[in-house]
């Protein structure tokens, strides 16, 4: 698999969420995603960046543009050293929320991408990986 671009940004404020959206859009455009695919990926990135900020108390995102054979993709890895998620199965269900949101962040983003992976440990933090491919 070839990596065409690889960048890491910190997520510390709501302006950073906007920045993550912009970079994700830029890479999705570079990879010639359709408008709907771009929109889905940017929306998922926005949800997960906000999770990192609000639930993970801030963190980082690594954004990569990838090529695997004829497939072109964009992968995002969100990492935080926050409190972690005690019950991942519950957190991935629609409507589960600890804050004042609607509980669609994780479950909704999962539906918007092709690859989704989450690792979390209580007291250590959370890592969410998503990717969308052409």
Partner 1 sequence: MERIPILKMGNFLLVTVQVDMHDRLAMTLQDDLTGRIVKDRAHGVLIDISSLEIVDSFIGRMIGNIASMARVLDAETVVVGMRPAVAITLVELGLSLPGVRTALNVDKGVEMLKESIEDKARGNGHLAG
Among 85, 112, 118, 130, binds partner 1 (CB under 8 A): 112
Task: Provide the minimum distance between the beta carbon of 35 and partner 1 in the complex, in angstroms, as a whole number.
Answer: 5
* 17: contact with partner 1 by CB under 8 A: yes
* 58: contact with partner 1 by CB under 8 A: no
Q: What CA–CA distances, in Å, run from 98 to 4, 36, 120, 125?
A: 37, 30, 16, 16
Rounded (10°) CA dihedral 29, 72, 47, 90:
170
Question: At 95, is the secondary structure helix, strand, or coil?
Answer: coil
For partner 1, the binding residues (CB under 8 A) are 14-15, 17-18, 21-22, 25, 35-36, 38-40, 42-43, 46-47, 50, 94, 101-102, 104-105, 107-109, 111-112
């Amino acid at each position: 698999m070839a990596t065409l671009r690889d960048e890491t940004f910190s997520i510390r404020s709501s302006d950073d969420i906007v920045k993550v959206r912009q970079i994700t859009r830029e890479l999705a455009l570079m990879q010639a995603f359709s408008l709907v695919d771009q929109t889905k990926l940017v929306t998922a990135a926005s949800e997960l960046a906000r999770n990192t900020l609000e639930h993970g108390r801030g963190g980082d995102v690594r954004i990569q543009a990838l090529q695997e054979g004829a497939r072109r993709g964009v992968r995002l890895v969100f990492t935080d050293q926050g409190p972690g998620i005690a019950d991942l199965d519950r957190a991935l269900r629609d409507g589960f929320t600890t804050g004042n949101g609607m509980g669609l962040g994780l479950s909704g983003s999962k539906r918007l991408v092709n690859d989704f992976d989450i690792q979390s440990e209580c007291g250590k933090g959370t890592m969410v990986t998503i990717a969308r491919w052409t």
